[in-house]
Structure 1
Amino acid sequence: MASIQVPEGNTLKHECGGFVVADQWVMTAEFALKVVLGVHSLSEAEDTKQTFDIMELHNHPDFSIENYDNDIALIKLDRPFNASDAVRAVELLRAGGTNPDTGAAVETAGWGSLDNLGSRPDKLKEVVIEVINRVKCRRTDYFGRKFTNNMICAHKVCREDCGDSGGPLLYNGVAVGITSNGGKKCGQIKKPGVYTIISHFTEWIDNTMGTQPAAAPQEAS
């Protein structure tokens, strides 16, 4: 996981999540200022942390603020990261790949709100959630017309259900989605988390990254 951070006084404050997709690229949602990789605790000093400035920020040109359609962004770091047990690239599901079906167990992680008061954890949280039927998510009592073909929704009624915008949705270890938006309150049955489907943006990703393979770099010998 990457922590996308913003300055707050003399320190940095966590703003949203992201994840490494190549040796100098991080995928996230529609905003970013500074990137810290290898984070587990937001407040504690950790030898695994690597901090980067942003060389380039590419928001999808068709992003819609009204319904968060095309909610995907790519960040080019100011230098390649050092691969380790705590920092490595994740495989992306590409066009033609199989996205998880209704009822499939998927994983997400981040430092998102733990409750409806906006309380955030200091340490990285992970949770297994379940994909919800697309027809249900399009119902007017769910998201209606705001739910597009570029989205998948998943849910589990629990405190950890509020995801961290920009973080990954994993299916069998492969990133299939990006945490986008959803219910304004944690654990609402009819307002599950909404995730951008990564495989729908393969061409844009390849063009933005210069067709750089999205594979983990090797550790230096």
Structure 2
Amino acid sequence: MRSTAEDLTTRARIRDAAIGLFGREGFARATVRSVAAEAGVSPALVIHHFGSKAGLREVCDHHVLAQTASQGHEKADPRATRLLIQDYLNNPRQYADEIAYIRRALGDESDAADAFFDGVVSQTEDIIHTGIKAGTIRAFDNVRATAVVIASNSLSMLMLGRHVSRALGTPVLEPHRIGPELLRHLTLPALDIYTNGFYTDSRFLDAAREALQQQQPSTTEGSMPRDPGNRRRGVA
């Protein structure tokens, strides 16, 4: 993980070792003992600093979310976005543990995973508000729902990295890694869609709004709605 010089304490070293190990092996397989070995400390020292493996994971979650929040706010500034992309392309290994950890966190069906996803959505919502205020992102009627869509789209690239790589013909790396070639292929198409849209006009949007605004036909209690297939077959 990318740590600042003043953050290179024993506690931070254990946390960073845990992030790397959790990302590679998963939360269930990694143990306090294996984290301690990775960090070069005793298991007792891990417990001293974090209380338990669950406590350690919670600290790791907060740290990774803080890192992604920082990157997210950079994405609201075009100049900072350019520097962020260049930094990743020049130093992809610095981001490898963070990306692997996010994939593991999202694939783990637990309360901790739910909280992690909720944290990403909240960060995305904050980024949208920041961009609206700065004039780089347009206003939306439902910012929360928009944040869920954007966060889900972004995170799906991490979860489906192997399949995306195969489809694009880029090198397929280990499951916990996302290579710079994938970023080169996806960055411009993604930003093009966000910048210029996908449809040529609002007809699809208007059609969806009309469909959602229409009231569902009510049925008499105890009766079943007619099968539309019967009408197509001429059955009353």
TM-score by length of 2: 0.22
Determine which structure has the larger helix proportion and give its number.
2
* Larger RCO of the pair (alpha carbons < 8 Å, separation 6+): 1
TM-score by length of 1: 0.23
Determine which structure has the larger strand proportion and give its number.
1
